[in-house]
Structure 1
Amino acid sequence: MTDVAARNRRNRRRGADWESELRDRLREAGFDIERLRLTGKDDEGDHIVRRPGGRPLIIEAKNATFKPSVFVREAQRERDNYARHRGLAPADVDAVAIVRRRGASWREAYVLTTVAEYFGLPGEADR
């Protein structure tokens, strides 16, 4: 049991390190990015990027086995929580999952979203 607990702690630490690296490097690149606090089941994502004159961008940072649909769904759910907690419409807040690539720099991470999100189209549930 202790081996599993130790592995879980290492994995959480690696995930936290990735989130910090992504935040710090984006800051160095000139982005206004802040860490969001964990709020349990109503989590709001890992980071918020405030874009000049633009919409807020919620980032869900992942350092895990590649599961695109799971990651995008989580980013969208957390965007919805962020918007709801601030009285915003979810359509006024963008969300992406950024997934670390093994052996690659932070700049080579994958940014995941849907076609509907990227182009501002209504999703299937909205049609």
Structure 2
Amino acid sequence: MADVAKRNARNRRRGAQWQSDLRNGLRQAGLDVERLVLTGKEDEGDLVVRDYLNPGEFVVIEAKAGAMHAAEFVRQAITEGGHFAAHRGLDRARVSSIAVVKRAGLNWKDAYVLTTVGDYFGLTR
């Protein structure tokens, strides 16, 4: 059990570092990005970017590091984007949801961005 606990702690540290690297990289690129606080069963995602091209709109990011589980990551991102909108009384159409998945050994800019066609083009909100 001690090995499992150590592995889990190491994975949490890596995940937290990935979130920080992504946040810092996006900030250096000039984006207005903040880390979101865990809110229990109605988690809101890991980061939020205020859309400077469309004031009053947001992109909620679920940052993932590790094995790729695309369907689960997208489902989680969309659910958490909905929580973000609901907790702030925002129209869901103002909040896009993406999962950003770290690629091992590559720069944060080389991460994958996952979402649905409907969410990307605002067709399902």
Q: Does TM-score exceed 0.5, indicating one fold?
A: yes
Deviation at residue 64 of structure 1 after TM alignment: 1.8
Query: 1-side partners of 2:78 and 2:122: how far apart?
Result: 13
The equivalent residue for 2:64 is: 62
Q: Which runs of 5 or more residues in structure 2 are unaligned?
A: none
Query: 1-side partners of 2:65 and 2:124: how far apart?
Result: 29
1:9-88 paired onto structure 2 within 5 Å: 9-54=9-54, 55-88=57-90
TM normalised by structure 2 equals: 0.94
Give the secondary-structure state (helix, strand or coil) at the position aligned to 2:45: coil
- The runs of at least 4 aligned residues of structure 1 exceeding 3 Å deviation read none
Cα deviation code 1:90-116 (max 9, x no counterpart): 222111000000121111000000011
Query: 1-side partners of 2:92 and 2:78: how far apart?
Result: 9
Q: Percent identity?
A: 54
Q: Which runs of 5 or more residues in structure 1 are unaligned?
A: none
The equivalent residue for 1:101 is: 103
Query: 1-side partners of 2:86 and 2:94: how far apart?
Result: 11
How many residues end up aligned between the 2 structures? Answer: 123
Read off the aligned partner of 2:15 and give its amino acid letter.
G
